[in-house]
Amino acid sequence: MKGVASTAGAVREGQVDAAEPSRRAVARLHELHEGPLGEGGGEGLNAFLAALSNDDASTLDVPENDGCIRGVPVAVKDNMTTLDFPTTCGSKILEGYRPPYEATVVRRLKEEGAVIVGKTNLDEFAMGSSTENSAYGPVLNPVDHSRVTGGSSGGSAAAVAAGIVPAALGSDTGGSVRQPASFCGVVGLKPTYGRVSRYGLVAFASSLDQVGVFGGTVADAADLLQVIAGHDPRDSTSVDRPVPDFSGERDADAEGLVVGVPTEYFGDALGPGVRVRCREALDALEANGARIREVSLPNTTYALSAYYVIATAEASSNLARFDGVRYGLSDREGGDLGEMYERTRTVGFGQEVKRRILLGTFALTAGYHDQYYGRAQRARGLVAADFEAVFASGVDVIFTPTSPTVAFPLGERVQDPLQMYLADVFTVTANLAGLPAISVPVGVSDGLPVGGQLLAPRWGEATLFRAAYALESVLGSEVSDD
């Protein structure tokens, strides 16, 4: 599969019919799925819950326009509303649900000529770190089918890694774009909170959720972000400020770039292979003119605990709307309204969603609100202040591992929530502080991809892309293994 720019260029110059890239994407999608969509099981990747059929693709007509990505096939995580496909959030409670409106990011992609080929599998309501919590079965890692893809945007990461599409949309609440990008060996970016509209993104934790992008390369991620970024009056958290040219630093090198390396992210919990690949990436940057500076983010130790209090509390509030009254699954066999709520939610929600609703409801209970939620918000402020201090000291970007380990085996952590949550330990800080962050492949350990994470100040996507382009360039196509 060609990249975003090369695909769009070939269509624009008449080298290929505008529908041809999408026909190829759909054919590969179904070849790798091996069975009916949305049922799980089998030997396929199970990356998609809904998609165009081969018959649909054969008659596909891409409207004439001068869009910058006309003819580019794109996959969309199934927690963003679409008119052409159901939106299930990977949950039985929304099985078959077709929303009456379309997410702003989806509309912007279509206005620029992209073809949405399908909706990708995810942890139910984006709650998970492995895409094993989907009601429709887990997604298999294209690199090794015995391994997880990471989560919760595992389907989108797999779709790009398997060469089905050059780019895809995911959502990132605590690392749900960057961590699967690391596990699958692709690029994954979470923009600054407020840079991209959340209108039409089904809410998990509203103060943390952000639409992100996957690409086979840094340029692919930049090209997709360029299309979806910008103010949206329908989203109260969308910020009205100029969108820079994210490709402007494409030819920049590492010369003079000041890279902060936080000691807290290179502790004993870091896998040895991940440590080696990340140190090699830093050495490569330094050899090409970057200045590496050790820094400290001392309140990182509180980040994961604060995140899981805030995220579950907001989930408890947001998911109260799924009650069987207005849309989705409704079990009306009970004798009264309360029993209908209980039966609907018992049947409709999976175990992990129930766990987080219970935890969040407890954290918001009268008498415990300040003890848990209030303290978590104060810890969040400390985490953000740490980043501000480091960037104010002259650091351009911060480099960390994306995840402590490579992709772990399917089933290894599903019965151990704490170990599962620890997969997010390096990514949740960016969401708590509202910062832009990107995961870039930095090598291979034991045959599995390793991702390095770069973080920049708020609204610093241009700087972030400069560093990401430089990292990708200095590493080149040569990746080492243990």
Q: 100 exposed, middle or buried (CB, 10 Å; 0-12, 13-18, 19+)? A: exposed
Q: In the 8-state DSSP scheme, what is residue 237?
A: T
Torsion of CA 414, 419, 421, 425, to 10 degrees: -150
Please say if 152 is a catalytic residue: yes
Q: Residue 453 has what DSSP assignment? A: E
Give CA separation, 36 vs 97, 123, 160, 349, in Å.
18, 19, 20, 22
- Residues whose CB falls within 8 Å of the CB of residue 218, separated by 6 or more in sequence, listed in order: 187, 438, 440, 465, 468, 469, 472
CB atoms within 10 A of CB 482: 12
From the candidates 77, 110, 119, 190, which is the catalytic residue? Answer: 77
| Euclidean distance between CA atoms 155 and 141, whole angstroms | 9
152: cis peptide before it, omega within 30°? yes
Alpha-carbon gap, residue 263 to 311, rounded angstroms: 26
Which of 91, 129, 130, 176 is the catalytic position?
176
Q: Which amino acid is at 349?
A: F
77 catalytic, yes or no?
yes
Q: Where are the beta strands (DSSP E) in 446-482?
A: 448-455
> Are the C-beta atoms of 356 and 309 separated by less than 8 Å?
no
Q: Are 249 and 281 in contact (CB under 8 A)?
A: no
Burial code (b: 16+ CB inside 10 Å, e: under 16) for 387-415 equals beebbeeebbbbbbbbbbbbbbebeebbe
Q: What are residue 97's phi and psi, to 5 degrees?
A: -70, 130
Sign of CA dihedral 271, 274, 280, 285: negative
Confirm whether 58 is a catalytic residue: no
Furthest CA-CA distance within the chain: 71
Q: How many helices (H) and strands (E) does the chain have?
A: 16, 11
Closest CA to 197 of 185, 215, 209: 209
Residues whose CB is less than 8 angstroms from the CB of residue 347 and which lie 6 or more positions away in sequence, other chains included:
92, 93, 329, 331
Residue from 223, 154, 172 nearest 2 by CA: 223
Candidate list 152, 171, 316, 445, residue with the active-site label: 152
- Residues annotated as catalytic are 77, 152, 176
